[in-house]
A = this chain, B = another copy of it.
């Protein structure tokens, strides 16, 4: 009897460490001797339905290590959300290729895709073991303490703000930086990780999607900080919305672009930052009776794919998630599952890689705990010291007079 083959796919937005998960899975499969061929889904489900696979079976450790350290999804990604007909085509390809193990790294949309395929396989009596491998820079998967990809994106954001805060101190003004995070504010909160005690370091204000955004409050907050420090550095999540749930960016754009999942385009445009900068110039400028220096940057895809900045902890954990998914799949106790990173109780930082049901994680969103949010415009020190610092690891040192 043939051993059968394994397919690994990478879905959704790339991260700095999703290739670590890929390589972790490949290594574990190579070492197991339990599959015949290891196939990479070229551009995820959109490749599978075209039998477009990359053979990973005999890739060398050196090559795999280079892949692991490369940002973005080396197999190619896809934003397709398979419906029933699409899933049928996936099975047909799996049957043609004698695929018996499927590993799919992605966020909650992607875990949902994985769940649908696993259920369809079960319903149709096709022997398939399907595991979801967690990934998202937004850090919005439930059950997980945090997800692979988040730590590296958070490190990029923290370092960016450490530098930009020094920039803002050198040439004082009001600076707004827009960060990724459609529904969850974790990555935006990371902007404050590098702040030093007692130095008045920015970001001085942090706005996350967990709190309804109000323009007047925003202007009042900035006025208060600007009067105190003569400058103001602000972190704003792209996903901020008003009290009725309307995304602030939609108030601006004539034509809003949506993806196949019905999500409004938030990234890849500087529109929200420019809108908020104009708002501050107009409203606060006229209130203070002066022309204010207001600038906005939108960090965009740099947050997920910058080459050369990654959290070592994140790299290690992403690799482990790939390995552990394979171990559980080969164990054969469950035909499907997802790997969740759960923090072990106790003083030190240690992670349990735990098998959970895909339905526990699919299509649900984890939010930043409200206990970490101060007055709707800042993040508590405990968020950084207790939660974020061990995930991100070392940061550069900044010094000032």
Contact = CB atoms under 8 A, between A and B. Distances in A.
Nearest to A76: B170
A381 interface: no
A66 B162 CA distance: 14
A302 B160 contact: yes
Q: Which of A78, A175, A295 has the most CB of B within 10 A?
A: A295
Number of copies: 2
B307 A308 contact: no
A298 to B, nearest CB: 5
A307 B396 contact: yes
Given A297-B268, A308-B309, A75 B401 contact: yes
Interface in A129-185: 159-160, 162-164, 166-167, 169-171, 175
B400 A74 contact: yes
Contact of A66 (B78, B306, B397): B397
B70 A14 contact: no
A73 interface: yes
Given A54-B401, A77-B171, A171-B79, A163 B72 contact: yes
Q: Which of A71, A75, A169, A397 has the most CB of B within 10 A?
A: A71
A13 interface: yes
Contacts of A298: 270, 297-298, 300
Contacts of A74: 166, 170, 399-401
Contact of A166 (B269, B302, B305, B309): B305
Interface residues of A: mostly helix, strand, loop or mixed? loop
A372 interface: no
A256 interface: no
Given A70-B399, A74-B401, A401-B40, A295 B301 contact: yes
Contacts of A79: 171
A295 B307 contact: no
A30 interface: no
A301 B14 CA distance: 24
Interface of A: 10, 13-14, 16, 40, 43, 54, 63, 66-67, 69-79, 159-160, 162-164, 166-167, 169-171, 175, 194, 267-271, 273-274, 277, 294-302, 304-309, 395-401
